[in-house]
């Protein structure tokens, strides 16, 4: 499509908003991520009701510390395992098994699989609250000499855990996480490892005090699962060579060829200091060729340093992990909407052409910024793509551009890869008009 045609898209009428009850469910605060978190909390309220009633967890004779411990670790296990890379890929695999002959409304919901982070949030929040109840119970037993595993060592370790968990929950709050992301990441990494070690100490001390067999104690088995889930990505840590192109001072194209060819739509976590910070980028495998590329744009201190001081090697860990754009296979046709370096996650799907697609890409001087090779590669598979040059034409109305491409192409869904504000603008602008739309939710 020409820019003139794209300009005309700004003049088309967008569809009417869907009915108020349905529109309410499309509000960002009611997105599936938050619904899943709420579901976990509601399930825990049901467990709490059982404990307060027939379960008899709180009586005049003391507190059922073992039940509170299981509730704590069970929720933490959910919150941690759901973020494990193999589990994430399994969730995407199961969700995208549905054929395109299924009703669109069903596929629309299945494609929200990437909101699984709501289970992480709900599990961790519920686990923290159960742990606070457990610490209260331990303190009550210790003060009143009721025993039941409330030794001085167990109580001391538990209060150290309260401090750690509080710091992790506070730094994970959206305002602090977005403003101090490096702090959030380090508190979660080192605080999480320390907390895991203290949970092991607590479990052993509690088992010894109560005469429980460590080999059969449920807490030990749950902690084993949690520990393995956390350790597994680090067991695949390796330092690999890279070849880096810099088509402009804004972008680096990083080429990997260390015996791994990831699937289209996956991402790889890379680092130059593996204990301090990690950054995930979309893999861009080329059909029929080994290896893959990453597109890294200047968007902060780390990416700026990377582009200015190109490395010869980087660290990678874990396995390649499915991303939001993998939901494309649930639809007969899709529209990709990208701004700037958001083209990176779209590119592997455009090249693979597994699902018919149409691209709308808004960026500043595409060829000067990303290089002729990359732009020509895109146009070779997307000759009708809309490439909007913001330096020449200003910022477009992306909702209207997306809708025009969606309607003109006869697509079933729109996938947007952009910054947080524009992604939510496009996704919710379309969903409130009854159009399936997807984009990152910045839940990690």
Degrees, nearest 5: CA angle 38-230-295: 85
**pLDDT of amino acid 27:** 83
Same domain, 47 and 130: yes
**pLDDT of amino acid 181:** 81
**pLDDT of amino acid 1:** 45
Same domain, 210 and 257: no
- 35 domain residue, yes or no: yes
- 165 domain residue, yes or no: yes
Same domain, 104 and 193: yes
Degrees, nearest 5: CA angle 154-156-157: 65
d(CA 142, CA 264): 56
Spatial neighbors of 264 by CB under 8 A, at least 6 apart, are: 283, 285, 348, 349, 351, 352, 354
Shortest CA distance to 262 belongs to which of 243, 241, 242, 289? 289
How do residues 94-123 score in pLDDT, each as one tens digit?
999 999 999 999 999 999 999 999 999 999
The rounded Cα 218 to chain-centroid distance in angstroms is 29
Residues of the chain with confidence (pLDDT) below 50: 1-2
Number of independent structural domains in the chain? 3
d(CA 11, CA 252): 36
Same domain, 247 and 228: no
- 26 domain residue, yes or no: no
Of 287, 322, 357, the one marking the end of a domain is 322
Same domain, 147 and 78: yes
Same domain, 338 and 409: yes
- 24 domain residue, yes or no: no
Same domain, 184 and 50: yes
Q: Which two tokens stand for residue 90?
A: 């399994």
Q: What spatial distance separates the first Cα and last Cα of the chain, rounded to whole Å?
A: 36
Same domain, 193 and 315: no
Give me the domain span that covers residue 314: 240-322
Same domain, 133 and 75: yes
How do residues 233-252 score in pLDDT, each as one tens digit?
999 999 999 999 999 999 99
Same domain, 312 and 331: no
How far, in Å, are 1, 9, 10, 11, 138 from residue 4 at the CA level?
A: 8, 9, 10, 11, 71
**pLDDT of amino acid 422:** 95
Put simply, whether the predicted model's pTM sits higher than 0.85 gets the answer: yes
**pLDDT of amino acid 321:** 92
């Amino acid at each position: 499509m020409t820019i003139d045609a794209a300009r005309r898209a700004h003049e088309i009428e967008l569809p009417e908003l869907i009915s108020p009850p349905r529109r309410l469910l499309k509000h960002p605060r009611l997105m599936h991520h938050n619904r899943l978190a709420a579901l976990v909390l509601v399930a825990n309220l049901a467990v709490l009701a059982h404990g307060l009633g027939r379960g008899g967890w709180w009586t005049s004779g003391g507190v059922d510390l073992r039940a509170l411990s299981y509730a704590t670790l069970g929720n933490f296990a959910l919150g941690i395992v759901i973020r494990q890379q193999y589990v994430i890929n399994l969730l995407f695999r199961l969700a995208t098994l549905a054929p395109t002959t299924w009703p669109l409304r069903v596929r629309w919901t299945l494609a929200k699989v990437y909101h699984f982070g709501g289970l992480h949030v709900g599990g961790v929040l519920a686990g923290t609250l159960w742990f606070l109840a457990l610490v209260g119970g331990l303190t009550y037993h210790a003060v009143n000499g009721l025993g039941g595993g409330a030794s001085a060592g167990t109580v001391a370790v538990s209060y150290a855990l309260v401090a750690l968990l509080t710091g992790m929950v506070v730094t994970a709050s959206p305002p602090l996480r977005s403003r101090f992301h490096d702090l959030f990441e380090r508190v979660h990494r080192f605080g999480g490892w320390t907390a895991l070690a203290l949970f092991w100490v607590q479990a052993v001390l509690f088992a010894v005090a109560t005469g429980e067999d460590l080999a059969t104690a449920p807490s030990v088995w749950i902690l084993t699962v949690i520990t393995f889930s956390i350790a597994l990505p680090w067991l695949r840590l390796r330092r690999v060579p890279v070849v880096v192109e810099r088509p402009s001072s804004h972008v680096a194209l990083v080429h990997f060829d260390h015996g791994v060819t990831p699937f289209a739509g996956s991402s790889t976590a890379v680092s130059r200091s593996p204990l301090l910070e990690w950054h995930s980028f979309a893999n861009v495998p080329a059909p029929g060729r080994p290896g893959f590329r990453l597109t890294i744009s200047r968007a902060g201190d780390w990416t700026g340093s990377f582009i200015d001081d190109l490395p010869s090697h980087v660290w990678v860990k874990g396995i390649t992990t499915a991303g939001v754009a993998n939901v494309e296979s649930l639809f007969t046709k899709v529209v990709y909407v990208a701004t700037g370096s958001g083209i990176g996650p779209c590119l592997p799907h455009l090249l693979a052409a597994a699902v018919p697609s149409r691209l709308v890409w808004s960026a500043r001087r595409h060829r000067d910024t990303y290089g002729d090779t990359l732009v020509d590669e895109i146009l070779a598979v997307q000759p009708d793509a809309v490439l909007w040059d913001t330096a020449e034409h200003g910022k477009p109305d992306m909702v209207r551009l997306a809708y025009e491409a969606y309607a003109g192409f006869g697509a079933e869904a729109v996938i947007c890869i952009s910054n947080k504000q524009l992604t939510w603008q496009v996704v919710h602008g379309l969903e409130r008009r009854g159009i399936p739309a997807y984009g990152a939710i910045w839940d990690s």
